[in-house]
Structure 1
Amino acid sequence: MSDFIERPYENEKNKAIKYVKQLLDKASVDNKQSDKDELAEILRLLDSKRYGLVWEQHAEKVREKLKDVIPVFKENKDKKLSNKVNDDYNFLLEGDNLYILDLLLRTHREKINLIYIDPPYNTRSKKNEDFKYNDTFVTATDSYPHSKWLSFMAPRLRKAKELLTPDGVIAVSIDNHEGYQLKILMDEIFGENNLVGDLHVETSAIAGPRRVQAMKGSVVKTTEFILIYTKGNNLHAMKRPMYDGIPGFDIHYSKFYDGQKQKLINFTQVLKNTPKISETFKQFKLSTSLKNLDCLVRMDNKTIKDWLYSDEISKNLFRYVDKYDGPEQLKVGVNELDGKFIIQNKDGSKVQGYRYFNRIGMSDDYKPQMGERAVRGNLWRGFSADGGNLNKEGGVNFKHGKKPLRLIKQLIKALTPGGKTPITVLDFFAGSGTTGEAVMQLNAEEAGNYKFILGTNDEAIDVAYKRMQNTNAEYPMNLKFFRTDFVRKDAEDLEKSLLDNTKALIELENMTDLNERTDIAIVLNHTQASELNLKGLSKVYMRQRVHRMLVPFEQERYDSAHIEIIDIPDEFFADELGGIE
């Protein structure tokens, strides 16, 4: 094999960098600031990264606004939903999601277990104006459509990463317009090694005009992606598998453990020796072979199915039976070991296999049913079937489209452990609020412990809130509605302005309503601090200067009661206050 030179232009590049550095040193000596600035920028460009996304950076108006103002939340009390189901509240947040994420970083840094978002796909067509950048829709004639989309997504994804728990997961729906750029961007932000997988979701079928296009030779898009990344290094993010139903019987399940004789026999012997089953074979003039058994199951013969799925049969039926040479000491009979099933016959021989019982269960198809099923991989079929009912889901119409409720519910279920484990789900592109309804349905179906935070802009907020009202009628919830407001950084009394807007953040941080909690209190002056009844309290949010004024015996009173004192507004606005006392 011939030799080749790796990175042949690297020496030339290094030579150029060295030369620019010399010019920069000279400009420093000569104290020419303008030359220094321009040369520093040339050096930055020369020494930029070798691999990854490079795009024309665009400045967002909403980001520029943060130079002068501080986002805060104000509650719309008229839209509160309270059913006293428990002390926990869900939150619907109105505003640009860049501001929402900025505020969530003050309350939920490393506290979100799962983020699901369905961002704009940047289709750039007049019919689907789904992506607005700096108050203008990005269309096919735009000079920088991808760059603007990436400039929009990158800061939001970076903030999202900071919100995730160390083992948190983010899932992002996208299609082929920006999916490939998004993959590289998320590799940079979350780490390429933290890619859990890319789901391919069948969202549409080839029918009508789409069929005509396909017949003419077009490759018609029927799937979208869901990119899934974990914040940590745990790639086993799919906590609970989803299953697709399979018609028929897998004829590889051919061995049966005879408990009375304590040995393996061919399953065809069981078919012949079971009168009710052998008579069914005779009725259809079929021999008792596994292939014919598969035919009977496909014919939806209830007698055969009920018998096959019974514990007595399915728990003793095996496939892929091989010799077992492990060191484990096994008694005569069936033993379960690390998910494998070891069978030892009387003659001492051991075999291992997979039990048919584990193949039986409810599927997660559009119409779930009991039967054989297979663990779903990264191809999630059948969600095009949900399209016929999509407009009616949640009782709201949404012109930008919705994701099927079943899809989001299954995704949340797959990516979380369930049970009583507390799970907080965030969707900051909430749209019509599908994620909120999915969470409430899972809570009802599993007696789960899920809470949600939804963020959306003013164009979709009324739809999202209406859907939460509709969901509440069937699945009672507690919900608080906050809208984004602003405090100017040059406000005359900045600390007081921020203190006036702290309660909302305290409620968001604790996912609660402070008016209904007796274990959390807010203290703004020294009199309140001295006279506060500490019985039953666990947290006290105290104005920072009041906390510092506590004399030793007052501090001891709080310490003895094991109360956590949290300084406000410093807890949420430390950088903005800049040492204000």
Structure 2
Amino acid sequence: MFPGVSIQTNTAESEALSAAHMAGMTAQQIASVPAGAETTSSLDRYLVEIADPVLRENLAREIGGMQRQFGLVFERHHPEGIRLPKHAVKRGSKVVISTVNGKPNKDSAFYRVHKLNRDESTALLVDAEGNEAIHPIESLTVAKEFGDIGYPGLRKLSEIRNGDPDAPVHTVINGENYHALEALQYTHAGKIDLIYIDPPYNTGNADWKYNDRYVDSKDGYRHSKWLSFMEKRLLIAKTLLKPTGVIVMAIGDDEHHRLRSLSDQIIGEENFISSVVWSGGRKNDSRFISNSADYMLVYARSRETLVSQDVRWRELKPGVIEALEAAASIWTAAGRDHAEATKQWRAWMKKFKASGAATDAVTRFTTLDSSGRPIRTDGNISWPGGGGPRYDVLHPVTGEPCVVPSRGWMFADPSRMAEEIASGRIYFGPDHTTQPSGLTRLEDMDSQVAESVFQRDRNVAARDLAEVLGDKRFPFPKDRTVLSRWIGLIAPKDAVVLDFFGGSGTTAEAVIRLNAEDGGTRQTILVTNNELSKADDTKLRKAGHKPGDDEYEALGVFHHVTKPRLETVVTGVREDGSIYSEGLAANVAFFELTYLDEPEIVTGHAFNDLAGLFWLKAGGVGGTVELTPGAKADGFALSESGRTAVLFTPGRAKALAEKLHVTEHTISHLFIVTDSEAQGDEAATHFPGGITVERIYGSYLEAFQVNRKD
């Protein structure tokens, strides 16, 4: 179709749009438009000239029905697929031929396994056209294609409990992010406060894969492949955001303009907030311009909702905390002597300003008030432009009228001036011969609006990650300090933060550290994969290792970087036993996205892989519910110090309710295993209001299907 992308904005489309507007009119309304009336396009003029109102309406409707796409137009490439190397090849499996004569196969076509030979060493494959071929089992990899119905599960790998038992658990999922997003539509539709993603920048340097193939600058379709890849994920991500939710997307020059256009179409141009520019250092080897800028595109789910709720993003001014603490210390050390404290304060502020740790917005507060708090006394309280009111304002010491500004007072009503004086917002000089001014306190002016351009050395992030892990394992990680700043600015302290391009895990570390700093209870859901760098992939394949092998998987980003990083940050101990820090109070659970078959779900054999999804829907607090022999005998199970209960046998509802009452175990979600609505409804009557009750298996098969064509 198109080897790249294009923008359509032609006259015919404008006329079609105008005709579409007319198509929304009734026949009487169209007929009432007088012939020759002033219109906005040539099509409008032609329609108005038609005397028969029915014909005019029919033509307007037909023209308005023409589907002409405005904005970004790109090829939507053949469906993506995901390789499942750990899944056994079975009859009926969909597969790709991963190797031919021991070498990687460049063909990404999908095949169906028609049958296996007796010793299961070879398989008869059938392609989309019905052609048959026999291939060795060892050369095949099970795969799922976009459009193949599947059922996801979350298999718990491990967890760290180093925080409050009732605190939300940070959830890290190893799996394909599109399918993880589909699963999250069940657990978190409309529940996410902030999405932060750092998708592949598509620089042409083979930094990302499409259909298991690295995309480089020689691929003439690399931009439309990237847009096709991003479109499917953003469409789902939008459904996960709260009405007040926000999405922040980091991107480079290669795709910034395309991502902006794509986001305008999917999220809405009216919901665009800003394109933030991050300058990360100089590139002196550049031929023309040292372009060190990356971007963060910021969109609201509904900008109108944010405005209607008077949401404002503010952050502390740099240096304000240090200044307020220093002022309090100096005031105490000076024995509350105003003259001495002021002298020491100005000396301290001079050094503080020279350090560059604060802006003028803080360092201009060079005066202390009578209680030792930093103030400014240069506020202009005269009438703008002149001609303002003139009335007496008495000096609090001499009792005489003060000098009136030449332009008059800025407060028209003397009673308003009296309110300002009483609240301490007016500064008086030593006597009435000096003109009063406005007084502001640093503690009242401690916040500011973030600017759309900021600077921070990009190399800091790599050094920080290497310090955590004890060696350098991951190139170009995100900067946790930058992420902490913007997450703290945009999201509330109890936010649910999603990153479905989780990479090395910076977003989760940033949230964990931010919670430790300000006492927040933010929860991260981080989705990453276990891809290897191209260099490691090539080296391991040459050594005879392939995806699915332990040696291969061990060097993937999830197992080699993300998981050990977060374990080290929380526990303070590295993989090799060396000490990194004292650790942080947080809970983290690691899961692997699995793919289940319908029979496994219906028969109950896959429950432990489903438990993670039910736990996540219940808020991700405490432990998951697992199907043990004892729980099966009881007919129910409770999550350890969690909010979830599962009723395996509806007839045991009363017994579960009694146990909850006796043990004072509070739950928020109850999942009842039954395909009978009547059984589910009757079982639910034993539990108090406020508990969300949901049947599973029957509803699960409908709600959790992933990889759907729609």
TM-score normalized by the length of structure 2? 0.59
Distance 1:374 1:516, change over 3 A: closer
> 1:435 corresponds to which letter in structure 2?
T
Q: Residue deviations 1:196-235, cap 9 Å, x none? A: 21111112x22xxx3243xx5x112121101111112226
Residues 474-493 of structure 1: matches in 2 within 5 Å?
474-488=583-597, 491=599
Are residue 325 (structure 1) and residue 411 (structure 2) matched?
Answer: yes
Decide whether the 8 Å contact of 2:186 with 2:704 is kept in 1. Answer: no
Distance 1:407 1:141 in 2: 34
**Which residue number corresponds to residue 563 of structure 2?**
465
Deviates more, 1:409-418 or 1:104-113: 409-418
2:301 aligned to which of 231, 236, 248: 231
1:569 aligned to which of 694, 697, 705: 697
Are residue 137 (structure 1) and residue 214 (structure 2) matched?
Answer: yes
Residues 163-562 of structure 1: matches in 2 within 5 Å?
163-203=240-280, 205-206=281-282, 210-213=283-286, 218-233=288-303, 234=306, 239-241=313-315, 243-244=317-318, 308=366, 310-312=368-370, 314-323=374-383, 324-327=410-413, 329-330=415-416, 332=418, 334=420, 341=425, 353=438, 355=440, 357=442, 375-384=449-458, 386=460, 389-392=463-466, 394-395=468-469, 397-418=472-493, 422-459=494-531, 460-462=557-559, 463-473=561-571, 474-488=583-597, 491=599, 494=602, 496=604, 501-509=609-617, 510-512=619-621, 513-514=623-624, 515-517=639-641, 519-532=643-656, 533=658, 534-535=660-661, 536=664, 537-538=666-667, 539-545=669-675, 548-549=678-679, 556-558=685-687
Distance 1:541 1:328 in 2: 66
Distance 1:429 1:132 in 2: 13
Distance 1:226 1:351, change over 3 A: farther
Residues 9-48 of structure 1: matches in 2 within 5 Å?
9=12, 47-48=66-67
Distance 1:85 1:555, change over 3 A: closer
> 1:558 corresponds to which letter in structure 2?
F
Are residue 53 (structure 1) and residue 139 (structure 2) matched?
Answer: no
> 2:301 corresponds to which letter in structure 1?
K
> 1:540 corresponds to which letter in structure 2?
L
> 1:508 corresponds to which letter in structure 2?
L
Distance 1:353 1:141, change over 3 A: farther
1:149 deviates by: 0.5
When the two chains are superposed, the root-mean-square deviation of aligned CA atoms in Å is: 4.3
1:243 deviates by: 3.5
Which SS does the other structure have where 1:521 is aligned? strand
Distance 1:542 1:177, change over 3 A: same
Q: Which has the higher contact order (CA 8 A, sep 6+)?
A: 1
Distance 1:392 1:321, change over 3 A: farther
Decide whether the 8 Å contact of 2:79 with 2:146 is kept in 1. Answer: no
Are residue 81 (structure 1) and residue 160 (structure 2) matched?
Answer: yes
Distance 1:335 1:222, change over 3 A: farther
How many residue pairs get matched?
479
Decide whether the 8 Å contact of 1:238 with 1:414 is kept in 2. Answer: no
Of Structure 1 and Structure 2, the greater helix share is in 1
1:311 deviates by: 5.0
Which SS does the other structure have where 1:541 is aligned? strand
Distance 2:691 2:461 in 1: 52
Decide whether the 8 Å contact of 1:186 with 1:192 is kept in 2. Answer: yes
Decide whether the 8 Å contact of 2:267 with 2:301 is kept in 1. Answer: yes
Unaligned runs of 5+ in 2: 1-8, 21-61, 83-143, 321-337, 357-361, 384-409, 532-556, 572-582, 625-638, 706-710
Which SS does the other structure have where 2:289 is aligned? coil
1:161 deviates by: 1.0
Distance 1:335 1:417 in 2: 35
Identity %: 24
Distance 1:555 1:147, change over 3 A: closer
Distance 1:415 1:528, change over 3 A: same
1:134 deviates by: 0.6
1:477 deviates by: 2.1
**Which residue number corresponds to residue 189 of structure 2?**
109
> 1:243 corresponds to which letter in structure 2?
K
Which SS does the other structure have where 2:150 is aligned? strand
Distance 1:197 1:299, change over 3 A: closer
Distance 1:154 1:280 in 2: 56
Deviates more, 1:178-187 or 1:531-540: 531-540
1:437 deviates by: 0.9
Decide whether the 8 Å contact of 2:461 with 2:478 is kept in 1. Answer: no
Distance 1:398 1:44 in 2: 58
**Which residue number corresponds to residue 99 of structure 2?**
none
1:448 deviates by: 1.0
Distance 1:171 1:191 in 2: 14
Decide whether the 8 Å contact of 2:653 with 2:684 is kept in 1. Answer: no
**Which residue number corresponds to residue 123 of structure 2?**
none
Unaligned runs of 5+ in 1: 1-5, 18-42, 247-272, 284-292, 362-372
Decide whether the 8 Å contact of 2:364 with 2:376 is kept in 1. Answer: no
Decide whether the 8 Å contact of 2:162 with 2:586 is kept in 1. Answer: yes
Decide whether the 8 Å contact of 1:195 with 1:229 is kept in 2. Answer: yes
Distance 1:562 1:152, change over 3 A: closer
Distance 1:103 1:58, change over 3 A: same
Decide whether the 8 Å contact of 1:521 with 1:541 is kept in 2. Answer: yes
1:385 deviates by: 6.6
Decide whether the 8 Å contact of 1:525 with 1:546 is kept in 2. Answer: no
**Which residue number corresponds to residue 57 of structure 2?**
none
Which SS does the other structure have where 2:482 is aligned? helix
Distance 1:355 1:319 in 2: 7
Decide whether the 8 Å contact of 1:114 with 1:424 is kept in 2. Answer: yes
Which SS does the other structure have where 1:107 is aligned? helix
Decide whether the 8 Å contact of 1:393 with 1:405 is kept in 2. Answer: no
Distance 1:556 1:572, change over 3 A: closer
- The structure having more radius of gyration, on CA atoms, is 2
1:546 deviates by: 5.0
Distance 1:414 1:431 in 2: 22
> 1:379 corresponds to which letter in structure 2?
V
1:443 deviates by: 1.2
Decide whether the 8 Å contact of 2:474 with 2:504 is kept in 1. Answer: no
Decide whether the 8 Å contact of 1:403 with 1:434 is kept in 2. Answer: yes
Which SS does the other structure have where 2:694 is aligned? strand
Distance 2:462 2:441 in 1: 35
Distance 1:100 1:297 in 2: 48
Decide whether the 8 Å contact of 1:110 with 1:165 is kept in 2. Answer: yes
Distance 1:447 1:549 in 2: 44
Decide whether the 8 Å contact of 2:426 with 2:439 is kept in 1. Answer: no
